[in-house]
């Protein structure tokens, strides 16, 4: 049975692919879960329109990501945090803190999930942080953690 995949199915096909699959697999698994539709002339043309729209949308998004990467690559941001003895922080600096400070500095929002921190920062100092905006777009920034001045 010839079907058009509407979603990615691991080790089988990607969304938009048209494949010949076993009748039972299509009837009992793919079509009921809306992972694929029966390949008819109307479905083929509708899927072609969706694929074209997705390609256009992806190109536009990638252009925006490249522009954002140019603006933040190599930038240094400063975060003040309370610290105790031996340059140890009372809390920690997380990806959320870095995203907020980066938005203040550049005026552009960066999703905290795209900031690659192996673990939260627990000490004062300067750290290189990578931001994965898209597949091959990974700008790097410097994050400097300084001690917050306490008022007496």
pTM for the predicted model, two decimal places: 0.62
Which whole-number Å values give the CA distances from 17 to 4, 21, 31, 46, in the listed order?
A: 6, 12, 14, 13
> Could you give the CA distance from residue 41 to residue 28 in angstroms, rounded to a whole number?
22
Which domains are seen in the chain, by residue range? 2-68 (3.40.5.10), 71-147 (3.10.430.100)
Residue range 62-87: mean pLDDT, rounded: 86
**pLDDT tens-digit readout, 92-141:** 899 999 999 988 888 888 888 989 988 888 999 999 999 988 878 889 99
């Amino acid at each position: 049975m010839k079907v058009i995949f509407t979603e990615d199915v691991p080790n089988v096909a990607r969304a938009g692919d048209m494949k010949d699959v076993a009748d039972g697999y299509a009837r009992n698994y793919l079509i009921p879960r809306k992972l694929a539709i029966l390949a008819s002339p109307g479905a083929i043309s509708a899927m072609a329109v969706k694929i074209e729209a997705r390609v256009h949308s992806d190109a536009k998004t990638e252009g925006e990501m490249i522009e954002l990467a140019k603006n933040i690559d190599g930038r240094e941001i400063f975060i003040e945090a309370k610290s105790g003895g031996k340059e140890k922080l009372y809390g920690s600096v997380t990806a959320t803190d870095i995203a907020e400070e980066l938005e203040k500095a550049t005026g552009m929002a960066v999703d905290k999930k795209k900031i690659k921190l192996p673990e939260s920062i627990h000490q004062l100092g300067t750290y290189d942080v990578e931001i994965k905006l898209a597949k091959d777009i990974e700008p790097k920034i410097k994050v400097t953690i300084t001690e917050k001045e306490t008022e007496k």
